[in-house]
Amino acid sequence: MKYMTFNSSCSYAGVANLLSFYGIDTQDRTIALEMGLPFLFDYEDGCYYSGPMLQGAKWFNLYLKTVGYTMTEKAVNKAQLCDYLRDLRAAMLGIYVSERNKHAVVYTGTKDGNYCMLNNKWERSDEPDTLLLSEQELLQRVDETITVAVLNKTGCETVSTEGLVKHSIAVLQSLARDIGTFCSQEGSPMDIRSSMNTLFRAILLDGITMLDLIGETQISQKLKIVQGQLMNTVKENKPLQLDQYLDMALLNSAISEYIDLICAHV
């Protein structure tokens, strides 16, 4: 059983657990570091992403191809999910562990009619390592269409991330501009809460996690100060112009240093 070792890394721990079925011993942080995850940012459908939120075959294959495997994903209709899983050796999918919280688990087979799922969790967590779900329980925890990921042996490949890293620099520059624009205008409590995931998370949560992963504590500490300021404004629960509450100079300095760090990685 491979456990989470950094924040929100359930899908990365899931990849490590999938690889263990094929005799490859690794863990989430090894995968993240070897694929250069701390230097990658993306923007899609109005939302900025970094760190463990960069999920799926496109990202995981940056590492998997170097160890001789490729991830493929299939969108499966809820009605066909159980039949589809039964034919697989192992697979990763997302299930709901609460009403709004989806979590990556690894299907490992069936036992007494139940579906066995490795629960990609923190080792110190009191959650069970394995979830045994009846067909009804499983179907209650998934969307109408479920992405199911499996591994295929393909042979080792050299993977270049240069293009993705250059793209990440442009994305982070765009993020800095969008944060500046957003913070210069008064926002309602709903606007600010919504921006936490779409705008701020990539730099003030997952970005911090990635910086801590590579020991860049100076930049991380600057961002943590701004993170604390942002959380305080959310507690105010009233319309605010964020640049009157956040240390924008400190934030821009930290983002600039992060961009320099990524440039050095190209």
pLDDT tens digits for range 75-119 = 999 999 999 999 999 999 999 987 778 999 999 999 999 999 999
Which residues of the chain fall below pLDDT 70?
A: none
Exposure string of 235-251, with b = 16+ CB inside 10 Å and e = fewer, is eeeeebebeeebebeeb
Closest C-alpha among 137, 83, 77 to residue 105: 137
What does the pLDDT read at residue 266?
A: 74
The pairing of strands 69-77 and 91-96 is unpaired
pTM of the model: 0.95
What does the pLDDT read at residue 249?
A: 98
pLDDT in tens, 28-58: 999 999 999 999 999 999 999 999 999 999 9
Contact 48, 41 (CB under 8 A): yes
DSSP at 153: E
What does the pLDDT read at residue 101?
A: 85
Chain centroid to CA 230 = 21
What does the pLDDT read at residue 206?
A: 98
What does the pLDDT read at residue 91?
A: 98
Q: Which residues pair with 146 in a beta bridge?
A: 76
What does the pLDDT read at residue 97?
A: 84
What does the pLDDT read at residue 17?
A: 98
